[in-house]
Amino acid sequence: MIHVLIVEDDPMVADLNKRYIEMSEGFSLVGIAPGVEKAWDVIEAEKVDLVLLDIYMPGKNGIDLLKRIRRKDLAVDVMMISAASESDTISKVLRHGAVDYLIKPFTFDRFQHALHMYKSRMSRTSQSEVLSQQELDKLMQNTSTHIEKPTLPKGLTRSTLHVVWKAIQNRGDSAFSTEDIANDTNISQVSIRKYLKLLEDSEVLLVNMVYGSVGRPVFRYTCSSRCDELIEPYL
């Protein structure tokens, strides 16, 4: 589990980032700090792997915190999230070792990509004490290249797809119906049916028609053996 601290003085932006983190598998929110000093208190008291850091806040700015983390040589990574788009500011942040830089306003897709690439990098570097040049080249390329995701059918959104997919994952290996996922997510069956159709067409889900004693047949879904691989481009 990757432990995340959000450092953001705008409550609405902080809450949005919080919800994005909660929708991202493998990440756990440690807390939200409205400024640099509060953030430092959390870093000293809690296990923090990744800081989502704004630049412009009351008092010291985010770059001051980034520098402090580097001076202390802490095993804490920083992903900068800021409205600042000046090239000299971005260059300064990157020189001090930020793993990524997201310019506000950013899309959920870009945020998800940043988290996915960070998790992939952490996973690969933790699995082996030594990396080959080929592995390192692939790792460095992945952290700097944003891969375009396939377009969703009209009316579908990635944020809702995340909610649907999380509900499916929570059911483990059990078969489920449209009604099951609708109840789990509080989303209408009409909408859920569209998302399940997308996942069926993408071979993420397998579907069987089950006949009961009365009434129409019910479609029961299960995850395919390659579901995690096949769903990834859509999230």
Q: Report percent pLDDT > 90 for the chain.
A: 51
**Average pLDDT of the chain to the nearest whole number:** 87
What are the pLDDT digits (tens) for 86-142? Answer: 888 998 998 998 999 998 888 888 888 888 888 888 877 766 677 777 766 666 655
> What pTM does this model have?
0.59
pLDDT at 217: 77
Residue 31 has pLDDT above 90, yes or no: yes
Residue 226 has pLDDT above 90, yes or no: no
Residue 56 has pLDDT above 80, yes or no: yes
Dig out the tokens for 106 from the structure: 């950013």
Q: Please report, as a single letter, which amino acid is at residue 139.
A: L
Is residue 115 helix, strand or coil? helix
pLDDT at 231: 87
Residue 148 has pLDDT above 70, yes or no: no
Cis peptide before 105 (omega within 30 of 0): yes
Residue 213 pLDDT level (bands cut at 50, 70, 90): low
pLDDT at 138: 63
Least Cα distance to 178 among 59, 167, 170 occurs for 167
pLDDT at 141: 58
H/E stretch holding 158: helix 158-170
In the chain the domains, ranked by start, together with CATH numbers, are: 2-144 (3.40.50.2300), 158-234 (1.10.10.10)
